[in-house]
Structure 1
């Protein structure tokens, strides 16, 4: 239940009279009758009655704490320290609106400045905005930005791109007519360098991810950047920030733009949202002036005291109007602040340890799953591991759920050439006994299905 419950049933008629309606039907006169019938809303109830009804409904849900969960492909079960939620629920953060008036928003502005500073250190690029909607929209904004900067209209992306992110990108690209060209993977599940060289001419940008959609670390990522730069394209890197304690930061190997998902720090899965997108660029005026979103800067006030302001607002419709670089109207500030608190808690050593634990857990998951399925690609995996099965995966998944285990994400529908393949994921929360129970259950399900 929420913190406030205001029943309006006793005052319904009075409220209707006050706004000039005789009854509730008059209020919804503009709504098609068929839609109103579909809702079939009950009469109002007391707070206790509503509490009991909602509690009964909620008991039917199962959370990641009630069942082992191996779902991957962008949604992961991470542990969030309890103090993160406590701090972001402070009224200074929770009720804060966009800080257009810096004189009354110093707390939120400083928190976002700290977020930018932490992300800059993490990704290895100096200029970071105060967040986007999520990874997918940050990637799409980077694509549009690369087109504006280079005056070209083609973007190269891995064919093995998360299908949901790809749909976001295609939606963004449709209006300005940006051409999205997929680069296939090779037999190792890595971006095919030769195919990239064939397609890169005239490209505005080349996009690659760490790790890729198959959970693999691209072995030739520096060469991919060189191919992009030699063709006059921008090198755009999408990154899961939880890996940056164990691999080189993208800015260190030549990334012009880095995007990613900040909510992996500080936020639970939340049924898929809200999230916060990372967006960072190198110290290049052409890139900085074309960044979407806003940048928080540190300055001094009239009395010489430290102060924080919105330094860059190139996307703001109220300022730039038709020249705005983006129509994004939110910076997901609360999620970004949560990420900053979590990152500050971990520190460099904690981020490194987090990445090492995830690598170890992923390796164990991969090893055990190879006993009941085929691993299509060798290499180092982080979080996600694709596994191919001899029986239809929907059978395995449904029967795992019956055993109170949430399996992986089926990708055969997106990449049919891979067969019955699903992505199974591990994080720092994955327990050895969960993996053992999963493998035992999958083995039994396959045996039953083959009888």
Structure 2
């Protein structure tokens, strides 16, 4: 098959589809959402092309060009060189399923170590070798809850990232599951409202700890006690917070989901990452994805093999629990390399530093006229909500123009958080970054008054 330009072939293909031009292929995409064609002169050399595109790229500015305090799921942490070395090994940088264990001991062991480390952090019995991301892990958890108790109503927090709601709705559309939202009160889930919603038709409850505001939900420790034994508690976590926070396995979680991004995975325009999915041993046969196990080979030596895979091609279709075709093996391995490079002591030390930085920065912002930080009372890690007496979108735009990515506008996720934005700090920030943020917040607010 040749790949050279061939107009007659293209015309024949268009004709078969009932189209008259290549532009007709994109007719469904609104004009204002299409990427404009690059303004490049015809027939330029490769060196000229590279020079021209480099010039264009320099007009963009990101986290490496200015202080960045964005969070809301993606965090700019330092990544040790060892992590990049491990992920660059040719035997590891594929996510293809290791069907032949005799040829794949390296990647199988690396994934086994990921499962072991995450199980230790989460205090859960079993962790699979990852889902695609946080959002799809929530969707899979809701489907699994129905497999566990055959009920069709699932409760979600009222304040949650809009995209998570959208992914969940796509996941459950064909499963006959109805979702209902539990109101929030003072920045966390309203437990009194939840008690009234836990009827016999409810399959389970999903709670994020910390939530989209960055606050630890004080009710998370109590939810299991007010639920029926058959109802499923699903907890979403930022794994970095578990360096110092109580793990969900210790307060009754049946399923734990999250994202490995804070653990050594670059922001990279929002992906790829890997979704965390953990369960108790009694429910392992109902979980999606796959599990790597330790065993012995024919000569009695320690070896690793894929011990559970729930995709249709591996077991009888009616017993399949997921149509996940692969996992995010590479980013899972990055997370395990990151945790190994820090060690337990280093992981906890980093967590204490992040929590300390969060409290320091919140206190400094709260001293500024017109700002309140945190906007809701409660405990937080390295991210916290801020309210301000001017337009949040206008404030953040003005801050960006002045060279600081000051935070994330939560009104983009829900109308209930109008006038609130989150600020996240990491070990990457310097004192100079903090001072610049404070200065820019003050000046940007003055412009909008």
Determine if the TM-score, normalized by the shorter chain, exceeds 0.5: yes
Alignment partners' CA distance in 2, 1:85 and 1:140:
30
Mean CA deviation greater in 40-49 or 243-252: 40-49
Alignment partners' CA distance in 2, 1:153 and 1:36:
40
Structure 2: runs of 5+ lacking an equivalent: 27-33
Deviations 1:120-142 (A, max 9, x none): 11100121100011111111111
Deviations 1:399-444 (A, max 9, x none): 1111110121111244434431111111222333222211221112
Which residue number corresponds to residue 303 of structure 1?
A: 299
Deviations 1:163-210 (A, max 9, x none): 2212211221222121111111222x1211111110011321111122
Deviations 1:278-312 (A, max 9, x none): 1111121xx11111100001111112122111100
Which residue number corresponds to residue 160 of structure 1?
A: 159
Which residue number corresponds to residue 3 of structure 1?
A: none
- Contact between 2:159 and 2:184, CA under 8 Å: does it hold in 1? yes
Alignment partners' CA distance in 2, 1:94 and 1:409:
32
SS at match of 2:286: coil
Deviations 1:321-364 (A, max 9, x none): 35421122221000000001001111111111121111111112
Which residue number corresponds to residue 447 of structure 1?
A: 446
**Mapped pair 1:263 → 2:261:** yes
- Contact between 1:127 and 1:281, CA under 8 Å: does it hold in 2? yes
How many residue pairs match? The answer is 431
Shift of 1:256: 1.1
Alignment partners' CA distance in 1, 2:249 and 2:172:
26
Which residue number corresponds to residue 242 of structure 1?
A: 240
TM-score by length of structure 1 reads 0.89
**Mapped pair 1:312 → 2:308:** yes
- Contact between 1:263 and 1:336, CA under 8 Å: does it hold in 2? no
Partner of residue 273 from structure 1, selected from 262, 266, 271: 271
Alignment partners' CA distance in 1, 2:63 and 2:9:
41
SS at match of 1:91: coil
Query: What is the aligned-residue RMSD (CA, Å)?
Result: 2.3
- Contact between 2:122 and 2:242, CA under 8 Å: does it hold in 1? yes
Alignment partners' CA distance in 2, 1:33 and 1:242:
47
Alignment partners' CA distance in 2, 1:25 and 1:267:
41
Q: Alpha carbons of 1:73 and 1:27: their partners in 2 closer, same or farther (altered >3 Å)?
A: farther
Q: Alpha carbons of 1:99 and 1:367: their partners in 2 closer, same or farther (altered >3 Å)?
A: same
Q: Alpha carbons of 1:88 and 1:45: their partners in 2 closer, same or farther (altered >3 Å)?
A: farther
- Contact between 1:16 and 1:23, CA under 8 Å: does it hold in 2? no
Alignment partners' CA distance in 1, 2:67 and 2:215:
23
Alignment partners' CA distance in 1, 2:43 and 2:80:
38
Mean CA deviation greater in 31-40 or 317-326: 31-40
